[in-house]
Amino acid sequence: MSLQSLTNLRRSGGAPAAVWVVVGKCPASVAALPDCIAVTGNPVSMDWRPVVGLHVDIFDLSGDDALLDATIGAVEAANPKAVGVACDHATLGLSEQHENAMHQIRRQLANHS
């Protein structure tokens, strides 16, 4: 899903339960999912307003700390309901169970990119 697709969904009154943001090379099979947004360029130039009030999990596959930091900042500035992050350095989620799931998902994403 692109941010534009998410915008269209929100305008029609719909909203996914959660959104995945994949930073770096997103596997094509995952990028096509209706609840996934791929970030390969400058996240600050993207319109993140469609994530307002949604749960957002960010998975870093880029290994680029500056790109990840910019993505986190841009997403958080849009006031989502909650944000989880899984990267090389750590996994931060809503609970230990959520963190474990995010860690496993990130590992699977990395193996398919």
pLDDT of 1-45, one tens digit each? 678 888 888 999 999 989 999 999 999 888 888 789 999 899 999
pLDDT tens digit string along 42-91?
Answer: 999 999 999 999 999 999 999 999 999 999 999 999 999 999 999 999 99
- Tell me the CA end-to-end span of the chain in Å, nearest whole number: 17
d(CA 23, CA 86): 10
CB environment 15-37: b (16+ within 10 A), e (fewer): bbeebbbbbbebbeebbeeebbb
Count CB-CB contacts under 10 A for residue 65. Answer: 12
- From 104, 106, 47, select the one nearest 78 (Cα to Cα): 47
What residues form DSSP beta bridges with 55?
Answer: 18, 82
Tokens of 113: 């990119």
Q: What is the pTM of this model?
A: 0.94
Architecture per CATH, 3-112: 3-Layer(aba) Sandwich (3.40)
